Amino acid sequence: MTPETRRPGRRPGSADTRGEILTAARRVFAEKGFDKATVRGIAREAKVDPALVHHYFDTKEGMFAAAMQLPITPHDVIPLLVDGPREEIGERLVRLLLRVTASPETREPMVALIRSAMTNEQAAAMFREFISNALLYQVAERLQVPHLRIEAAFAQMFGVVMARYVIKLEPMASASHDELVEILAPTVQRYFTG
């Protein structure tokens, strides 16, 4: 930020305020977890009016995604999964995840969140609550699929992202999207349609 754009104090609508809300959000999510964090609490931490938080971020999910710099929110993902033919949900989910993780800019924030969840109990609780309540449970409810099956599908795709981009197992790291869809889509499909 250049001296010209940096202003003292806070104004509604300045980039500054948005950044300060996100900094406060990261602190509150890390401390309280996803479930117990509230828009009101984050506004208090950022010393702004809750209405301003709502102005920038529609939902707590959206604020979490922005705070963690995630490339997609459950709000984007859920319709992509739930809408469209049920018999193609496996392929839709696999292609979506491969697309989102293909470029380092969108992948790295997700991997960073997972890394901290693997090594820090507080970060694990935050990740668990976010993934469960904002994503997996929503999908399970909307599609009327048992939660354990949604988690099995999550585990498959989580493992693929780790194997492909973090452990870099070959041939998985170099496989094309089509090759991976061919192998993985039937697994995910089976979890969703039994």
Residues that bind a copy of itself (CB under 8 A): 114-115, 117-119, 124, 127-128, 131-132, 136, 147-149, 151-152, 154-160, 162-163, 166-172, 175, 179, 183-184, 186-187, 190-191
> Closer to a copy of itself at the Cβ: 54 or 147?
147
Q: How far apart are CA 107 and CA 98, in angstroms?
A: 10
DSSP one-letter code for 140: H
CB of 164 to a copy of itself, least distance (A): 8
> Closer to a copy of itself at the Cβ: 47 or 99?
99
Burial 143-168 (b: 16+ CB within 10 A, else e): bebeeebbbebbeebeebbeebbeee
The rounded radius of gyration (Å) of the Cα atoms in the chain is 18
CB of 172 to a copy of itself, least distance (A): 4
Give me the residue label for tokens 């491969």. 98
Q: Are the CB atoms for 30 and 126 separated by under 8 Å?
A: yes
The CA-atom distances, in angstroms, between 5 and each of 1, 8, 14, 63 are 6, 10, 9, 24
> Closer to a copy of itself at the Cβ: 52 or 111?
111
CB of 132 to a copy of itself, least distance (A): 6
CB of 177 to a copy of itself, least distance (A): 13
> Closer to a copy of itself at the Cβ: 102 or 169?
169
CB of 36 to a copy of itself, least distance (A): 17
* Angle at alpha carbon of residue 45, lines to 43 and 48, rounded to 5°: 40
> Closer to a copy of itself at the Cβ: 12 or 159?
159
Q: How far apart are CA 104 and CA 177, in angstroms?
A: 16
DSSP one-letter code for 84: S
